[in-house]
Amino acid sequence: MRQITGFRSKKELVYDSLRAAILKGELKPGTRLIIDDLASQLGVSQIPIREALQQLQADGFVTIKPYVGATVTEVHSGLVCEVFQLLEAMEIISGRAACQQMSDEDLDEMEKRLREMDNLIDDLDRWSEENIRLHQFICERAGTPLVGALMTKVVDHWERLRQLYLSDVFAHRVPEAQRQHWEILRALRARDPDLLEEVVRKHNRSALEAYTKYMESAGLMAPRQDTA
């Protein structure tokens, strides 16, 4: 991680730096986050480090325990299921609204974006970025900004999973996912919310099946801890 420079608050800059390192897998699950070391690496005092760690704990990326300190949150065996169940629910809410709210011009813009994504199939990072923007575009045009804000938080956890464990299987999933995006567009053009919901469920459940099967076979995740 590079030292912090910029015009935003130090806490915001520290948060962004640590968050990016966690999402990219540079700070791996279980890594201890020692405040003195982080302050030295980033060239700031301990105060913005503590504040950033508290925010990362609220986001679910850091665990802070008394007498132990902060560690990067482990990836438990239920996280993939949780992520895709949440995405499915949110995409259904925004998609059903979009069937009524998106204009023909909005749908033409979505088609343009999909054509651009067709050309990014072999560039996984850029395709993933455009995929996130596509779903945010649908939320925006559907008039569901709260869903969009929640989706951003959930997608961060997905990006972490992808970077840590799923890059290979993600590459095999992209062509199918892109075909399903075109099915979503057709359902939106038909103004058919029930068809849209069916397509979105298929889109997320086929992804969930592929990823969970891969992770189970590879034994990649820590067992889920009981919270009771």
Residues 56 and 154 in one domain: no
User: Domain containing 126: what range?
Assistant: 79-218
- 71 phi, psi to nearest 5 deg: -135, 155
Residues 41 and 102 in one domain: no
* Buried b / exposed e along 55-79 (16+ C-beta atoms within 10 A): bbeeeebbbeeeeeebbbbebebeb
Residues 189 and 205 in one domain: yes
CATH number of the structural domain spanning residue 49? 1.10.10.10
Assess if residue 102 is contained within a domain.
yes
Assess if residue 224 is contained within a domain.
no
Q: Per-residue confidence of the chain (228 residues) as pLDDT tens digits?
A: 655 555 678 999 999 999 999 999 999 999 999 999 999 999 999 999 999 999 999 999 999 999 899 999 998 768 889 999 999 999 999 999 999 999 999 999 999 999 999 999 999 999 999 999 999 999 999 999 999 999 999 999 999 998 888 888 899 999 999 999 999 999 999 999 999 999 999 999 999 998 888 887 877 655 555 444
Handedness of CA 157, 26, 136, 209 (dihedral sign): negative
Residues 101 and 213 in one domain: yes
Contact 106, 122 (CB under 8 A): no
Assess if residue 112 is contained within a domain.
yes
Q: Nearest-5° angle of CA 137, CA 140, CA 141?
A: 85
Assess if residue 3 is contained within a domain.
no
Residues 39 and 152 in one domain: no
Assess if residue 93 is contained within a domain.
yes
Residues 28 and 137 in one domain: no
Contact 10, 44 (CB under 8 A): yes
Handedness of CA 80, 152, 120, 141 (dihedral sign): positive
Domain count, the chain: 2
Beta bridge partners, 64, equal: 70
Residues 28 and 92 in one domain: no
Residues 88 and 165 in one domain: yes
Residues 127 and 61 in one domain: no
